[in-house]
């Protein structure tokens, strides 16, 4: 590979480069190509990117899908996504450089950095006998480090004639086996606006209730996709009325956002699962910013001194020292959009389970079928489609 540098040194240097650069370097020689394509290098490159907060971008969904370089936040570039007959499929999750994107009943795992994707097997919704229909459905994407597998979680909540009866059916897709499998039912009610966050600990989180009544307490519940179990995560101590809470991930920590009548708080859990480790990171009076009802933290800057936040279709940097906001104006973005942080990676979607994924024509044909069923699907895809 080189007469001057050992292979380990070359691998270490290459692991610090961007995906685009590495894809070009695959053409340098067969040994370099073999190195860059190797599972060990792909993992080391991902680990370095996550540890150094490098190779980050924002994936933005407006009328189309865009990518914005996180370090510069200069301009938006339209993404060439798998759904050729759709301007912007739904972005339902992000994990280690992979995105879960969907349009109607068709879903793909897609690596926008390598432009590789794989369609998930179709999974029709089948109502239980006591059900009168489903009230909501949602999806999440995470990494199972125990089995070295990427998994998609789908939860569908069915209701019956009795308001107290519900069942939340859970299916898990394994990229390794390229198949869906039902696990034990989710014993909680799904909120209508559901956001799952990947904590980096094989878990997905959301705010749920035990019953579908306003007085039922809100809980933070985790789905452990490694052992396929559910658990309640302790919340920080806070008080107030007429509040809403949401969860996400900020850096390596689980994050909780509290929206109260007169203020807004951001908490981070520094020792996962330990109630006493909740730390209030930010607290603002309302309104936080003129003409902005609420903001959500997305990621730390590379230096760690600022936090990028998203609110009402705008991006803001919050300086933790001066306690001030400044708007990040990105050229080419629409007036209203949803954004997701994505790390650039070489993670493969076609090396699991021996499948080569789908052809672009297959996605196009299924997109045509979806539009032909549009009237029937509107009830499902528009009325109850939930973004993660």
Domain-embedded: residue 119: yes
Domain-embedded: residue 27: no
Domain-embedded: residue 76: yes
Domain-embedded: residue 26: no
- What's the DSSP call for residue 302? T
Angle, vertex CA 312, rays to CA 306 and CA 314, nearest 5 = 50
* Residue 355, CA atoms < 13 Å, CB-side half-sphere: 19
Give the CA dihedral 190, 187, 298, 12, nearest 10 degrees. -140
Domain of residue 301, CATH code? 2.120.10.80
Task: Report whether 100 contacts 350 (CB < 8 A).
Answer: no
Residues 6+ apart with CB under 8 A from 204: 140, 142, 153, 196, 197, 198, 222, 223, 225
DSSP, residue by residue, 72-91: T--BEEE---S-TT-S--EE
Task: Report whether 342 contacts 50 (CB < 8 A).
Answer: no
Residue 102 has what pLDDT? Answer: 92
Residue 287 has what pLDDT? Answer: 63
pTM across the whole model: 0.85
Beginning with the edge strand found earlier in the chain, give each strand of the sheet holding 218-224 in spatial order: 197-198, 203-209, 218-224, 229-233
Question: Omega into 297 within 30° of 0, i.e. cis?
Answer: no
Residues 6+ apart with CB under 8 A from 243: 258, 259, 260, 261
Beginning with the edge strand found earlier in the chain, give each strand of the sheet holding 90-95 in spatial order: 90-95, 98-103, 106-111, 116-119
**What residues does 364 pair with on adjacent strands?**
none
Domain-embedded: residue 11: no
Q: What residue numbers bound the domain in which 255 lies?
A: 51-355
Task: Report whether 170 contacts 155 (CB < 8 A).
Answer: yes
Total number of domains in the chain: 1
Residues 6+ apart with CB under 8 A from 317: 301, 306, 307, 308, 309, 325, 326, 327, 328
Six token digits for residue 91: 């972005």
Residue 345 and residue 43: Cα distance in Å, rounded? Answer: 9
Residue 196 has what pLDDT? Answer: 66
Domain-embedded: residue 224: yes
Task: Report residues of the chain scoring pLDDT below 50.
Answer: 1, 353-361, 367, 369-388
Residue 3 has what pLDDT? Answer: 59
Phi-psi region of 368 (alpha: psi -120 to 50; beta: other; left: phi over 0): alpha
Domain-embedded: residue 38: no
Domain-embedded: residue 30: no
């Amino acid at each position: 590979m080189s007469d001057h540098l050992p292979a380990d040194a070359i691998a270490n240097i290459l692991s610090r480069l961007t995906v685009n650069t590495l894809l070009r370097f695959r053409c340098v020689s067969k040994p370099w190509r073999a190195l860059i394509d190797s599972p060990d290098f792909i993992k080391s490159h991902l680990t370095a990117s996550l540890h150094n907060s490098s190779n980050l971008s924002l994936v933005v969904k407006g009328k189309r899908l865009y990518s914005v370089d996180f370090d510069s936040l200069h301009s938006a570039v339209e993404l060439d996504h798998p759904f050729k007959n759709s301007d912007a499929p739904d972005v339902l999750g992000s994990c280690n450089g992979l995105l879960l994107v969907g349009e109607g009943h068709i879903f793909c795992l897609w690596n926008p950095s390598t432009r590789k994707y794989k369609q998930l097997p179709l999974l029709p919704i089948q109502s239980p006998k006591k059900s009168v229909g489903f009230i909501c459905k949602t999806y999440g994407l995470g990494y199972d480090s125990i089995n070295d597998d990427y998994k998609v979680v789908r939860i569908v909540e069915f209701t019956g004639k009795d308001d107290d009866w519900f069942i939340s059916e859970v299916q898990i897709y394994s990229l390794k086996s390229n198949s869906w499998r039902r696990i034990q039912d989710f014993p909680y009610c799904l909120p209508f606006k559901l956001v799952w966050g990947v904590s980096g600990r094989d878990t997905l989180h959301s705010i749920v209730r035990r019953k579908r009544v306003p007085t039922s307490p809100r809980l933070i519940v985790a789905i452990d996709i490694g052992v396929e179990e559910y658990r309640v995560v302790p919340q920080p101590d806070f008080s107030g009325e007429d509040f809403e809470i949401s969860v996400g991930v900020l850096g390596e920590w689980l994050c909780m956002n509290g929206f109260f009548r007169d203020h807004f708080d951001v908490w981070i859990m520094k020792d996962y699962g330990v109630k006493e480790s909740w730390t209030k990171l930010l607290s603002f009076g309302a309104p936080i910013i003129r003409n902005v009802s609420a903001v959500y933290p997305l990621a730390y800057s590379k230096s760690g001194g600022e936090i990028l936040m998203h609110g009402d279709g705008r991006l803001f940097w919050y300086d933790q020292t001066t306690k001030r906001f400044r708007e990040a104006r990105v050229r080419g973005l629409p007036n209203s959009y949803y954004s997701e942080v994505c790390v650039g990676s070489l993670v493969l979607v076609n090396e699991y389970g021996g499948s080569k994924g789908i052809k672009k024509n297959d996605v196009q044909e299924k997109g045509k079928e979806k539009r032909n069923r549009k009237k029937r699907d509107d009830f499902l895809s528009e009325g109850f489609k939930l973004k993660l």
